[in-house]
Amino acid sequence: MKNIFLIGMPSSGKSTLGKRIADSLQCRFVDTDKLIVRDEGRSIAEIFAESGEAYFREAEQNILRTILPGNSLVISTGGGMPCFHDNMTYINATGISIFLDVPVEVLAQRIIDHAQGDRPHYNHADPELIESLRKRYVDRLPFYSQANVVVTGETQEDEILRRLGEWL
């Protein structure tokens, strides 16, 4: 089976949905952010603070390139991963990409509800959170729009699996 890459903004549900899809397809789930944290021995927020975004984007690219085609994985990518270093081209060349297109207002509410402080670009207490998310969404949309499958809003797992069927 081809690898399945879930892409989209932070808090779009990539990890939550990815785990459920992997269970349904009886394959392994991988979260690229967790792989980076494991390899670096520090959180993403710490990587951004101590080494900068450019360093983090290189780490993302390196992790992505370790994911080889045909491993039957469901992969949750970091929100910005498709937007740097030709990563979206690699994702589409080595698997099926699914863009989880969730409204900015829903993303903001999820970030506020989960208030973990692990999102370097978004502070749950920022009064400008929705505007920050909206700007970043607009900037990233040209990359996300290259996905093989686009699902919007609160698309259910069974609908995603049905749509994936034509790609697997």
Q: Do the beta carbons of residue 6 and residue 74 sit within 8 Å?
A: yes
Please report the domains of the chain, with CATH numbers, ordered by start residue.
Answer: 3-162 (3.40.50.300)
> Which pTM value belongs to this model?
0.89
Helix, strand, coil % (nearest 5) of the chain? Answer: 55, 15, 35
Q: What is the dihedral of CA 73, 76, 82, 85, to 10 degrees?
A: -70
pLDDT single digits (tens) 16-75: 889 989 998 999 999 999 999 999 999 999 999 999 999 999 999 999 999 999 999 999
pLDDT, position 8: 96
pLDDT tens, residue by residue, 66-125:
999 999 999 999 999 999 999 999 999 999 999 999 999 999 888 888 765 554 545 555
Query: Quick one: tokens of 161?
Result: 């699996």
pLDDT for 161 equals 76
pLDDT at residue 9 in the model: 95
Q: What is the pLDDT of residue 135?
A: 96
Residue 7 has pLDDT above 60, yes or no: yes
pLDDT value of position 167:
66
